[in-house]
């Protein structure tokens, strides 16, 4: 890869990080789509996406926590079983085009619902802990299998079920993505796979984009803007899963 190619993909990675981090996500599905379009080898895409995810999710979790939107009581029931499930998913290497298509359809459906969503509900009702733990385990497995942190599944679920308000959902998803990405990467390491050297170059662009995006999302953007950005993120992620192999 020459300097011009590396510069172009770094800019693209930075823009993906900015968009995703503004809604509490870390951008794994966007990184995967970008690297796929640029012709990266499949074996290198998943670990690179997880590394970038960890860095951006760490920034996003801090920004949303600092702005006062994080709820530990909402977070931990979803996270407690998701971490071992993400480890299992990260260890597995399954060719699953039907699985990816189904997940992509779910994400696109969620995106179009968000397009017609108007602000936060007046009343929210967090789920029972057994429900949250079961949901977290399922999302954790999905995150490990797909090389994402699971936020693309958790955030719309929190909003549609009225379990959280928009910024609280983004804050919880950011930390959820962080712990599951770490578990998924550890599972990947356990399977004996290498980490590509160019991942650390792309990390610089992701950190810059993630810092700007998470600041805007946690403190500047109105709720409606965040919902529309989240819909855009889900459309990108869903389209990637359906149309790329």
- Average pLDDT rounded to a whole number, residues 177-204: 82
Of the ranges 38-52, 84-98, 193-207, which one carries the lowest mean pLDDT score?
84-98
Cβ atoms of residues 227 and 166 within 8 Å: yes
Residue 44's CB is within 10 A of a number of other CB atoms, namely: 17
- Average pLDDT rounded to a whole number, residues 39-60: 85
Which tens digits make up the pLDDT trace of 53-108? 999 999 999 999 998 999 999 999 999 999 999 888 877 766 657 666 766 776 78
210/230 Cα distance (integer angstroms):
15
Q: What is the dihedral of CA 41, 47, 53, 56, to 10 degrees?
A: -90
Which tens digits make up the pLDDT trace of 128-157? 999 999 999 999 888 777 767 788 789 888
Q: What is the pLDDT of residue 208?
A: 96
**pTM, 2 dp:** 0.81
Specify the higher pLDDT residue, 75 or 200. 75
Domain ranges in the chain are 3-243
To 5 degrees, how large is the angle CA 23–CA 27–CA 31?
155
Q: Count Cβ atoms within 10 A of the Cβ of residue 119 and give its class: 0-12 exposed, 13-18 middle, 19 or more buried.
A: exposed
């Amino acid at each position: 890869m020459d300097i011009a190619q590396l510069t172009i993909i770094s800019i693209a990675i930075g823009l993906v990080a900015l968009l995703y981090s503004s809604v509490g996500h870390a951008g794994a599905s966007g990184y995967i789509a970008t690297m796929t379009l640029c012709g990266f080898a499949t074996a290198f895409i998943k670990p690179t996406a997880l590394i970038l995810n960890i860095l951006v999710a760490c920034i996003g979790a801090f920004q949303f926590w600092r702005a006062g939107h994080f709820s530990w009581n909402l977070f931990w029931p979803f996270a407690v079983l998701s971490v071992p499930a993400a480890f299992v998913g990260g260890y597995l290497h399954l060719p699953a085009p039907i699985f990816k298509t189904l997940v992509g359809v779910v994400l696109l459906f969620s995106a179009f619902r968000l397009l017609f969503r108007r602000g936060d509900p007046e009343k929210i009702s967090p789920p029972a802990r057994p429900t949250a733990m079961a949901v977290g385990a399922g999302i954790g497995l999905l995150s490990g299998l797909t090389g994402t942190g699971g936020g693309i599944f958790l955030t719309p679920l929190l909003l549609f079920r009225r379990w959280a308000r928009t910024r609280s959902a983004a804050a919880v998803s950011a930390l959820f993505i962080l712990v599951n990405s770490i578990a998924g990467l550890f599972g990947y390491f356990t399977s004996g796979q290498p980490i590509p050297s160019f991942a650390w170059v792309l990390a610089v662009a992701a950190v810059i984009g993630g810092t700007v995006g998470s600041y805007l999302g946690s403190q500047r953007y109105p709720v409606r803007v965040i919902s529309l950005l989240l819909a855009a993120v889900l459309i990108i992620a869903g389209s990637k899963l359906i149309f790329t192999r």
